[in-house]
Structure 1
Amino acid sequence: MKIIVGISGASGAALGIKFLHALPSEHKKHLIISEHAQIVLEKEENTVLHQNNEIWASVASGSYGADAMIITPCSMNTLAKIACGIADNLITRAASVMIKEQRKLILIPREIPFSPIALENMLKLSRLGVIIAPPALAYYGEQTTLEEMENFMMGKWMDLMGIENTLYKRWDDK
């Protein structure tokens, strides 16, 4: 499976990096990081990363054949651009291609509360087949640490992509 992980400039960009590392190694992974995410990561993680201006990259083409794309976190700016068809950087271009090719696109909007404009954009994208999956916790899994909570969310996102994982305790009949 070919998977694109986009990280836009919302706080919590480190979760996108954790998700990338949690993906099984047999999958081909592409990482796209916006300039604002780079700034957030540098401040939160002291990490220097590449920029989001490589619009010519393979993942900007439908013929590349990416199977899925997740943007975690997805800023409201990035979400709005995708909803309006603005493809002015590699993240938004790759997302546009995923919609055009009717491939799996998952957005992880992190900024709360959601404004009515953001909710309208999410509804519009949802009607186009985009999956909107904010980082929401479950209370049945008995998570007690931040890492367990993050693993639950990342496991649910992998479930949406059809990737088997054991990152969280699943509901059972017992």
Structure 2
Amino acid sequence: MVERLNEQLHLAEEALRNPDRWKGLSGYIMASCALEADSRGYLNLMTTRFDESETLLALRRRIQVHIEELVREARDTAAVRSNFRAEDLVFVFLANSRIAEMTMDVAPKSWRRNVELFLDGIRPERATPLTEPPMKPSQVARAMMRPRLRDPRRTERKGDKVSEA
């Protein structure tokens, strides 16, 4: 896992070196999602909490600092819509993981379409007001700490109790 996070860190550092803020940010998002969708990748890497490992936590913190800088600079130069925040990337990373997982045997590159649609959605040219504010970093952290919701198809009722099937 350290190797995969180091690859993510390298992608973020490379993106920050790109003087074109749109190309830097969009290139990072696409490359990060590609890395995760790769058959040797680790699905949910960018949305997994690593509370048990100080090494992994430190790497994630470094990546997060770079992501926040990438988004801030893209926003400051009007390369992305003014209301786009780093916390919004959670949604593309979560969606990418699920899409890559569900389509890897059928259409292994279909995740790209979702990312391309997302990237179009953060461009400033046609930005429309959003109905919800971005999540706060503390909300993102709390959401990531929640246990996965159980699949209701895997449970059965026994009296008033619900238990694993």
Please classify the TM superposition score into its range, dividing by the shorter chain length.
0.3 to 0.5
- When normalised by structure 1's length, the TM-score is 0.31
Greater helix proportion: 2
Greater strand proportion: 1
- When normalised by structure 2's length, the TM-score is 0.32
- Rg (Cα) greater in structure: 2
